[in-house]
Amino acid sequence: MTEQANTLGYEKSIRLTVVKTVGFAVALAAAAHVAIPLPGTPVPFTLQPFLVVLAGLWLSPRAAVASMVMYLGAGALGLPVWAPIGLPGAARLIGPTGGYLLSYPVAAWLVAALAQRSTRYLPRVLAALAGIAVMYIGGIAQLAVLTGSLATSALIGVAPFAALDLVKCLVAGALAPRGPGNTP
């Protein structure tokens, strides 16, 4: 292969990475608008955790983090990317869902790092579950500050979502690439 062909292949790979990174940020914004309020919790059910773990499964660790930071930046600037339930703009980050949101870059990075070279379904699902766990830790931490109780935080921040988040992980594992090659 010539040097020019290598350069063109690299440039194409970079363009594809940028498109995927921006695409996951946009998809995450769309998923936020599928928000269903649940009784007894200030945290709505959304498709966002699914998109966070899917981004980690499809992107490299750096690109996954970049996608999540892009999404958070857009929301903090006041663009309409947050779920329609809750505080506007940057204020959302100090409200009941702020801990979940702020954990997205770490969760996506962890999923990508764990699943980067996986060729099998189960390791991809386990990586997705690890990402969900990171989001729960962030969410519970913020809710504990707001409610003053770790037990209450777990009850309203994890219990209503755990079963459906498990399903999201199973589906994300099935939709992930089947081998090494998460984009650079």
Q: What is the CATH number of the domain that holds 91?
A: 1.10.1760.20
Q: What is the mean pLDDT of residues 94-122?
A: 95
Q: Is residue 182 part of a domain?
A: no
Angle subtended at Cα 158 by Cα 114 and Cα 133, rounded to the nearest 5 degrees: 10
Q: Is residue 180 part of a domain?
A: no
The pTM assigned to this predicted structure is 0.90
Q: Is residue 75 part of a domain?
A: yes
Q: For residue 113, give its domain range.
A: 3-175
- Number of structural domains in the chain: 1
Q: Is residue 52 part of a domain?
A: yes
Q: What percent of the chain has pLDDT over 90?
A: 83
Burial class, 133, CB count within 10 angstroms (exposed 0-12 / middle 13-18 / buried 19+): middle
Tens of pLDDT, residue by residue over 32-67, are 999 999 999 999 999 999 999 999 999 999 999 999
Q: Is residue 47 part of a domain?
A: yes
Cα–Cα distance measured from residue 155 to residue 126, given in angstroms and rounded to the nearest whole number: 23
Q: Is residue 181 part of a domain?
A: no
Q: Is residue 49 part of a domain?
A: yes
